Structure 1
């Protein structure tokens, strides 16, 4: 095998960096970016074309940090330098990173490596969500079965009593018992619903799922609600259960529509469905080269702070008349696809993000 040239070696080294989770860029001593890997491109939320040729410092909250480090580099004051900084990203808040600078090409280019501090926090949160979901599922299943049998007995006894009562006015009481028993039975059935659905896997076009959900929601809310589509049409099909994915997305979009009802009267209610590709995403402790991100964004009042951390728990709701089952059911169906739902909310903007792995 012929000896590799310096250019070939550099290309191979960069190809290895292209497939790692660490955020990596190569900059010249003047700060201009000459290389950037997919992980950094995805973290910043902008295209590679928008980064290359520009100063990397503009993506830092304090661009002087990188500028000073490059001044030290020009003065040959270090072989490797570490510091902490805040990295900006498109349409989102800045996030903290560890930064390491080292020489990439002798006295010519510098390798900038960034490790998001939020990544570990997010993974820990994801693990807690999964563990809590498993505990909730087992609790609900056992509780629902314990309620189901005596509930049937109560309803049956009320029906027998209804037939024996001579006074029609007294029958009103048995009617209440039967009606409430039926209501509780419907609630129990909804609690058990995720465990009764078979998981039927096939090729699914996520945009067909989105359009079906849009159709259903707009039939329910024909005026005052605007649903905007912001699709990445290059997304491939995913392997999944189409009906479960429709139900999961429908529950989230319906929740958004319900909180927007006051704004519908003013014609300002808006929901955005946005699809994107995510690269090098960890879901369930497994690293995926490619994943699907589906955002449901509304301009409603936001989620109440006292329930914000518990919205995926069963029977937790911030809405009068709500059952608190829609989001837990959506999370269950998404987790069956090895995915996850996260939520960021503030007054005027709530963003539910569904993440589903794509075939590697």
Structure 2
């Protein structure tokens, strides 16, 4: 019975992206998950029975946690920072949560560790999500405030144009009406995500990808290749098909516009890649399974001065851009409890859409 429970726990631990190890009362390894095996460069069979402190630069914090835990079992959780070092001598700073647990009659220590870089990314993602929500609410309110007076300005210019006979003055009213219409279109795009209730149904992400792919290739029939790199084992996600199409279309069209010099040379490439991700943090929430949809292009990359603000409304790197495409895409994906992130270097830009799977 004990062995069956251990086997079941080991299987569960292997699903975790965090580093997990169990230790006996002498700090010797009794089991380790796949993530820790990969970091340390040793299989769990070779790790079994080794003092875990050997893999720490300074094991004093671990010794102190053990001493306190054995002395006061009611206070069984301790947190500290440590530096792990595997066979490759690569040092990784981790945040450790040590928990004294009871498995059958054996008291064992469960150590769960997060690399510091991943913890920093978690906080950064949470901050980005909060900032996006704040920006979205601000712009939505601003668009509503602009909408009514904008209609009044256009209406007044139209009436004035009907009364003015001089062609030169009539031209001025036409300019006012044209600019009011342009601003109205901008306001409409800002309000678009909030105008229609979300329709939730099973969606095959590859059907979405193929639909977007065909639309963009019709616009750019020569000089652009859109590669398909799909994981066909992906289950359907629950969402609004039209919103997902619009979000992906905005990203792929944005990439195609940036690739115009490469398209003219016949060497532009966009890759659509789908994968399953496990134990993914999106904002402050951990999801067991998630879709990762990568849109990768071989363009010049995102300008460094706007890289951190690329999903902010009205931020664009093109003279003819409105700065709304990526912002709206982020809004649509966030309505599916997901997030879009971007990594960019000259010659390779990757937008990653992450959405939880049911």
Q: Structure 2-normalised TM-score?
A: 0.77
Distance 1:303 1:87, change over 3 A: farther
Contact 2:299 2:349 in 1 (8 A): yes
**Equivalent runs, 1:90-239 vs 2, <5 Å:** 96-98=92-94, 115-239=114-238
Q: Distance in 1 between matches of 2:53 and 2:140?
A: 62
The aligned counterpart of 2:14 is 18
Contact persistence 1:293–1:356 (CA under 8 A): yes
Judge conservation of contact 2:15–2:278 (CA < 8 Å) in 1.
no
Say if 2:338 and 2:354, in contact at 8 Å, map to a contact too. yes
**Deviation digits for residues 165-224 of structure 1 (CA, Å, limit 9, x no counterpart):** 122233222111111111111011111111112100000000000001101111111111
**Does the 8 Å CA contact 2:83/2:91 hold for their aligned counterparts?**
no
Answer whether contact 2:315 2:322 (CA < 8 A) is retained.
yes
How far apart are the structure 2 equivalents of 1:73 and 1:125?
32
How many Å separate the matches in 2 of 1:87 and 1:200? 51
SS at match of 2:305: coil
Tell me how far 1:265 sits from its aligned partner: 0.8
Question: CA 1:137 to 1:163, structure 2 compared with 1: closer, same or farther past 3 Å?
Answer: same
- Alignment equivalent of 1:8, drawn from 4, 11, 27: 4
Q: Secondary structure at the match of 2:198?
A: coil
**Structure 1 residue 310 corresponds to structure 2 residue 305:** no
CA distance in 2, matches of 1:256, 1:161: 43
Seen in structure 2, the aligned counterparts of structure 1 residues 146 and 72 have a Cα distance that, compared at 3 Å, is: closer
In 1, the alpha carbon distance for the partners of 2:86 and 2:246 equals 38
SS at match of 1:306: helix
Residues 1:186 and 1:99: Cα distance change in structure 2 (over 3 Å) = closer
Unpaired stretches in structure 1, ≥5 consecutive residues: 27-33, 42-47, 59-65, 89-93, 103-110
Task: Name the TM-score, length of structure 1 as normaliser.
Answer: 0.77
Matched, 1:272 2:268: no
| TM-superposed deviation, 1:162 | 1.2
Separation in 2, partners of 1:180, 1:99 = 55
SS in 2 for 1:265: helix
* 1:329–1:124 Cα change, 3 Å: same
In structure 2, relative to structure 1, the CA distance for the partners of 1:294 and 1:301 (3 Å cut) is same
Q: Deviations over 1:294-336 (max 9, x none)?
A: 0001111111111111111110111111001111111111111
Q: Cα 1:304–1:185, aligned 2, differ >3 Å: closer, same or farther? A: same
Q: C-alpha distance in 1, partners of 2:95/2:140?
A: 47
User: Which of 49, 57, 63 matches 2:41?
Assistant: 57
Does the CA-based 8 Å contact 1:227-1:271 persist in structure 2? yes
**Structure 1 residues 171, 118: closer, same or farther in 2, change over 3 A?**
same
Equivalent pair of 1:344/1:352 in contact (CA under 8 Å): yes
Matched, 1:83 2:90: no
Q: Separation in 2 of the partners of 1:254 and 1:123?
A: 29
CA-CA distance at 1:284 after TM superposition: 3.1
Structure 1 95/257 Cα, relative in aligned 2: closer, same or farther at 3 Å?
farther
Q: CA deviation at 1:10?
A: 3.7
The 5 A counterparts of 1:286-325 are: 286-325=285-324
- Give RMSD over aligned pairs: 3.4
